Amino acid sequence: MPVAYQAPDFLHPVAGVRLGVAEAAIKKPGRKDLLVIELAPGTRVAGVFTQNRFAAAPVQVCRTVLASGAPVRALVVNSGNANAATGQGGLDDAQAVAAAVAAAVGCEAGHVLPFSTGVIGQRLPVARMVAAAPAAHADLRADGWLDAMRAIMTTDTVGKGATRRVATSQGEVTVTGIAKGVGMIHPNMATMLAYVGTDAPLSPATTQAALQTAVNRSFNCVTVDGDTSTNDACVLFATARAGSRDIEVGDADYAAVYGAIEQVCLELAHAIVRDGEGATKFVTIDVGGASDEAAARQVALSVAHSPLVKTALFASDANWGRIVMAIGKSGVPVDPARVDLWLDDVCLLRGGQPHPDYVEDAGAAVVAQPEFRIRIGLGDGDAQATVWTCDFSYDYVKINAEYRT
């Protein structure tokens, strides 16, 4: 059960984007596990990918296609198999699937981006996927977003989607996105995938810049377990159907369009944490008073990753000693005598020492809530950062211990 999150029941179509799904029985029969996203000619596509050195075969293919500057006409995504640690055979498989989709769409194989999510170290059932590609193509619809959202799920307990409309000087612009993921990243299955489309006429360079900034402020600010998958990918495509003049960073319309993109990414990123494996709490960690944003972020992530903090949150225990420990081990040269700590509006520490008015019941009341905020002041500057995370429960261990059994 995700923490206060429900799958959307409506997502705005994006002019120039059609989506279709089909059953390829990749892990097992009985579900639509192959997704094709067709993009109108002229669509600008940007991607960010996992930093894991064991990048999966489809990630390697995507990087090559995007680096070539080739016009991307379609994406193909499968759940049930990650096509990672599969060597040259895996690269061949990813290209064969892309070629089948290219044939259906009517473009070159090098103009299709492949994505996979699922178990590591097994070859894709290429024949079944190639055979299913025409069916996915035949299913293409502008209103296919909700089915697409479901097709990419693995152990997600809910589909994750977000949608926004904003006004620009060239008319209304739509931004719609879908994502999957339940551990921050899972080598076998979960891993994060996100696809965000807009009809805004973002220039190619602006599409990349907007994606990078939005990812840094959303997907890169959430953590479930600190692990990093072999398959992570986030793609932004701008079909440029809503306007004839390209929007560049700094243009009057950019702020509105970028704002919608960031909101969609943030909503999807939060949905991943809310649906985090075994999560019972959604926790916002705000670090302020830092010398720079990187230091603030490093402290926030140290708290967010600490198993001792996360197990205390699960127990609704306002165990601030563990938070202090995690601040102190972050690697940032924090001065303990300047550190303040709050749970929501309850002050626990002032200048590194227990606040004289603090009573345990007040802290316990905050952390008993399904959502709350840990606020940390470092007293060392003006920079701040925010990170979102969940707790660490019996069910996290259960889900991950029993995944393959």
Catalytic residue numbers read: 191
Q: Of 103, 51, 330, 95, give the one whose Cα is nearest residue 215.
A: 51
Task: For residue 405, say whether it is annotated as part of any ligand binding site.
Answer: yes
Distance CA 309, CA 318 (A): 9
Q: Which is nearer to a second copy, 163 or 231 (CB)?
A: 231
Q: Which is nearer to a second copy, 82 or 105 (CB)?
A: 82
Distance CA 398, CA 81 (A): 22
End-to-end CA, the chain: 21
Binding to a second copy by residue 254, rule CB under 8 A?
no
Binding to a second copy by residue 327, rule CB under 8 A?
yes
Q: Which is nearer to a second copy, 171 or 336 (CB)?
A: 336
Q: What is the maximum alpha-carbon separation in the chain?
A: 71
Binding to a second copy by residue 393, rule CB under 8 A?
yes
Residue 186: CB partners within 8 Å, gap ≥ 6? Answer: 154, 155, 227, 229
Instruction: Among 93, 225, 262, 267, indicate the residue that binds a second copy (CB under 8 A).
Output: 225
Q: Which of 50-58, 103-111, 262-270, 369-377 is the region at the interface with a second copy (rule: CB under 8 A)? A: 50-58
Task: For residue 50, say whether it is annotated as part of any ligand binding site.
Answer: no
User: Residue 90 Cβ, how far from a second copy at the closest point, in Å?
Assistant: 9
User: Residue 97 Cβ, how far from a second copy at the closest point, in Å?
Assistant: 19
Binding to a second copy by residue 322, rule CB under 8 A?
yes
Distance CA 83, CA 66 (A): 19
Binding to a second copy by residue 294, rule CB under 8 A?
no
Q: Of 225, 174, 215, 221, give the one whose Cα is nearest residue 193.
A: 215
The DSSP secondary structure of 182-243, one letter per residue, reads SSS--SSS---EEEEEE-S-B-HHHHHHHHHHHHHHTGGGEESSS---SS-EEEEEE---S-
Q: Of 219, 228, 232, give the one whose Cα is nearest residue 387.
A: 219
User: Residue 175 Cβ, how far from a second copy at the closest point, in Å?
Assistant: 30
Task: For residue 154, say whether it is annotated as part of any ligand binding site.
Answer: yes
C-alpha distances out from residue 361 to 212, 303, 318, 324, 372, Å: 42, 22, 9, 19, 15
Q: Which is nearer to a second copy, 188 or 203 (CB)?
A: 188
Task: For residue 180, say whether it is annotated as part of any ligand binding site.
Answer: yes
Task: For residue 389, say whether it is annotated as part of any ligand binding site.
Answer: no
For residue 47, count other CB atoms closer than 10 A to its CB: 23
Distance CA 37, CA 64 (A): 19
State how far Cα 311 lies from the chain centre. 24
Pair 164, 175: CB distance under 8 Å? yes
Segment 109 to 138, residues that bind a second copy, using CB under 8 A: 119-121
Binding to a second copy by residue 325, rule CB under 8 A?
yes
Q: Which of 64-72, 138-146, 288-296, 320-328 is the region at the interface with a second copy (rule: CB under 8 A)? A: 320-328
Q: Which of 32-40, 146-154, 255-263, 333-341 is the region at the interface with a second copy (rule: CB under 8 A)? A: 333-341
Instruction: Among 24, 34, 36, 55, indicate the residue that binds a second copy (CB under 8 A).
Output: 55
Strand partners, 371: 282
Q: Which is nearer to a second copy, 225 or 267 (CB)?
A: 225
Task: For residue 230, say whether it is annotated as part of any ligand binding site.
Answer: no
Name the binding residues: 154, 180, 191, 277, 400, 405
Give the binding site for a second copy (CB under 8 A): 51-55, 82, 84-87, 119-121, 183, 185-188, 225-230, 306-308, 311-312, 314-315, 317, 319-322, 324-330, 332-337, 349, 351-354, 392-394, 396-398, 400-405
Name the binding residues for substrate: 154, 180, 191, 277, 400, 405
